[in-house]
Chain A
Amino acid sequence: MSDQFTGTAVGDPDAPPAFRITDAVVGYDGAPVLDGVDLDIPVGQTIAVMGPNGSGKSTLMRAMLGIAPLSAGRILVHGTPLRRFRDWRRIGYVPQRLTAGGAVPATVREIVASGQVASRRLLSLPTRSDRAAIDEALETVGLADRARHSVRELSGGQQQRVLIARALAGRPDTFVMDEPMAGVDAENQRELARTIDHLRGTGATVVLVLHELGPLEDVIERSVVLDGGRIGHDGRRAPAATGACARPGHEHQHPHPDPNDPDPRATGAEAAPADLIRLEVPGSD
């Protein structure tokens, strides 16, 4: 399955970066929100894009996915200019919330299955491998027993896991997640961190827009901090100044880590926790 990705992207030092952003400018009504951002995200990296509200981190993510149009600069996705990029099944986007609109009920499985929309042909029936991918995605996020539930019956944290499962169902190798920890309780946050660590272990590229590192601290390999539409920091760790919890006026949306938490998160991909359910991701086999 998905052999076309194997060996080209993951583990190949000559593979073009997952994202190459050059002098990107995005402006809404004249005022630039992104003001010349340069950023290379190599294949296989787990990177956090951080910054205070209004710094442009969400806009950068939207620009990377072609949702927000650039007014200047360019973005290459896996070596192809965004405008000509067609291999969308490689991208797994996890939005911040389940849905902006929509009053019609939908089951967990229906939502997760919709993540395959880019990889399936029109009028095709789901193949065995399609269904297996949905089952695996549900198991990876620990929601297999909720498949037939309406997503509205789930808690915020569980809905977030549904969104990640939706991205997984398309078997992409590049994930873009918009604040997956926001509005999620401690237990679900740990669950999410485990899932993201697992993705990293499979060689996937993971871009996370985050308000703060929180329980993802050990999973993140690189932190970029935006400030006023520009990159203010780029390094292994977020600078202390962005420890947003320390700021006056910071609104808490995360629980502080439990010092007695027995969950030792692995720092290396090869040391992924053994209790994780194995997920077939392009390139992992």
Chain B
Amino acid sequence: MTELLQYEFMRRALLAAVLVGLVTPVIGTFLVQRRLALLGDGIGHVALTGVALGLLTSTSPVLTAAAVATLGAVLMEAVRVRTRASGEVALALLFYGGIAGGVLLIGLTPGASNATLTGYLFGSVSTVEEQDIWVVAVLAAAVVAVVAVFGRQLFVLCQDEDVARAHGLPVRFLSMLLAVTAALTVVIAMRVVGLLMVSALMIVPVAAAQQLTRSFRVTMGLAVAIGLVSSVGGLSTAFYSDLSPGATIVLIALAIFCVAVAAAGLTRRWGRRRAGTPRRPEVPLGADTMPQTARGG
């Protein structure tokens, strides 16, 4: 580890990895709860247009990506609300629009090519500059602040939108806030794991954590721990073994997911054998509910 810290670029990269591992699973927990696991992917594609715009106009690609991703998130949320049925299609449209826009703009940029985008698509944490770290740190602080202030309301929103309305919560504002926060998170993680894999770091740690937990809070905490282990562990592994950092981080997260699934299965089997009864002794099979049909009007 000390060898790692001798290099200026690795110190920056590690700092970025810590911020990313910390923040992405927090937002990911809410997205999984709201069944918007693919939102991060959609925003990631849109952010590519932002990156290209930054390169074209010689401004910081991280900043332009943040702006365009935020705009894309707002647009996506607006479309989702207006056309409830075709929300998936709206997401798809943004996927394609984002990629096409990015490739088109990069083509107009002198001295840049699609290869320039590769670093953003798959991550290039070793080229992170000091200015990027500042932007990422500020964005990460903003995301944590949003969750600290609105976490309780977001929990209700993600649990059941109708209940949130019946509590008088500003549902539209909160949905927008979550989408924009997700957009900022995508930009934070962009340099580390790449736009195409950002969503993995939002979703996979949460998917792993929920195999082992009963509570929302603990799920989020464990997901953050898994996120940190993946991002820092992946970066170090990549440094020593000369692998692609982004891909290593994501594969470590996926490996943890597999272990969590196996562990959850084992615990269940153990518990059953120890109790000598079915897994839910308090719920005799078949006796607990009447068929939930023909309701509502």
- B-binding residues in A (CB < 8 A): 51-59, 62, 65-67, 85-86, 88, 91, 93, 95-97, 99-107, 110-111, 114, 117-118, 120, 122-123, 148-150, 153-157, 170, 176, 179, 182-185, 209, 211, 226, 250-255
What is the bound-complex CA distance between A179 and B210, given in angstroms? 30
B172 to chain A, nearest CB (A): 12
Q: B20-36 interface mask toward A, CB cutoff 8 Å, 1 = contact, 0 = none?
A: 00000000010011110
Q: A117-B169, A153-B214, A185-B288 are in contact. List 13 more A-B contacts (CB 8 A).
A: A56-B297, A65-B162, A65-B165, A66-B166, A85-B168, A93-B166, A105-B215, A110-B217, A153-B282, A156-B292, A170-B167, A250-B294, A253-B291
What is the bound-complex CA distance between A114 and B152, given in angstroms? 7
- A101, B35: Cβ atoms under 8 Å? yes
- B34, A106: Cβ atoms under 8 Å? no
What is the bound-complex CA distance between A238 and B294, given in angstroms? 19
Among residues 198 to 230 in chain B, which have CB atoms less than 8 Å away from a CB atom of chain A? 206, 210, 213-217, 219
Q: Which A-B residue pairs are the 3 nearest by beta carbons?
A: A88-B168, A93-B166, A155-B288
What is the bound-complex CA distance between A209 and B219, given in angstroms? 35
- Specify which chain B residues have a CB less than 8 angstroms from the CB of A182 in the assembled complex: 290, 292, 295
- B210, A105: Cβ atoms under 8 Å? yes
A145 to chain B, nearest CB (A): 10
Whether, in the assembled complex, B60 has its beta carbon less than 8 Å from a beta carbon of chain A, the answer is no
Q: Contacts A57-B297, A253-B294 given: A99-B215 contact, CB under 8 Å?
A: no
- A67, B216: Cβ atoms under 8 Å? no
A100, A104, A122, A185: which contacts B289 (Cβ < 8 A)?
A185
Among residues 159 to 194 in chain B, which have CB atoms less than 8 Å away from a CB atom of chain A? 159-169
Q: Contacts A58-B296, A117-B153, A185-B290 given: A100-B148 contact, CB under 8 Å?
A: no
Q: Interface of chain A, helix or strand or loop or mixed?
A: loop
Q: Contacts A51-B297, A122-B150, A155-B283 given: A148-B167 contact, CB under 8 Å?
A: no
Q: Contacts A110-B217, A123-B148 given: A100-B288 contact, CB under 8 Å?
A: no
- A211, B295: Cβ atoms under 8 Å? yes
A54, A97, A107, A253: which contacts B216 (Cβ < 8 A)?
A107
Considering the complex, give the chain B residue whose CB is closest to the CB of A250: B294
- B287, A118: Cβ atoms under 8 Å? no
B150, B216, B280, B293: which contacts A104 (Cβ < 8 A)?
B216
- B296, A183: Cβ atoms under 8 Å? no
- Specify which chain B residues have a CB less than 8 angstroms from the CB of A185 in the assembled complex: 287-290
- A104, B295: Cβ atoms under 8 Å? no
A106 to chain B, nearest CB (A): 4
B159, B214, B296, B297: which contacts A114 (Cβ < 8 A)?
B159
- A93, B158: Cβ atoms under 8 Å? no
- Specify which chain A residues have a CB less than 8 angstroms from the CB of B163 in the assembled complex: 93, 95
Whether, in the assembled complex, B247 has its beta carbon less than 8 Å from a beta carbon of chain A, the answer is no
> Of A62, A105, A156, A184, which is in contact with the most chain B CB atoms at under 10 Å from its CB?
A105
Can you list 18 A-B pairs with a CB-CB distance of less than 8 A? A51-B297, A58-B296, A58-B297, A67-B162, A100-B161, A102-B160, A103-B210, A105-B214, A106-B215, A114-B159, A117-B152, A117-B156, A154-B283, A157-B289, A179-B295, A185-B288, A253-B291, A253-B294
Whether, in the assembled complex, B115 has its beta carbon less than 8 Å from a beta carbon of chain A, the answer is no
- Specify which chain A residues have a CB less than 8 angstroms from the CB of B169 in the assembled complex: 117-118
What is the bound-complex CA distance between A81 and B216, given in angstroms? 36
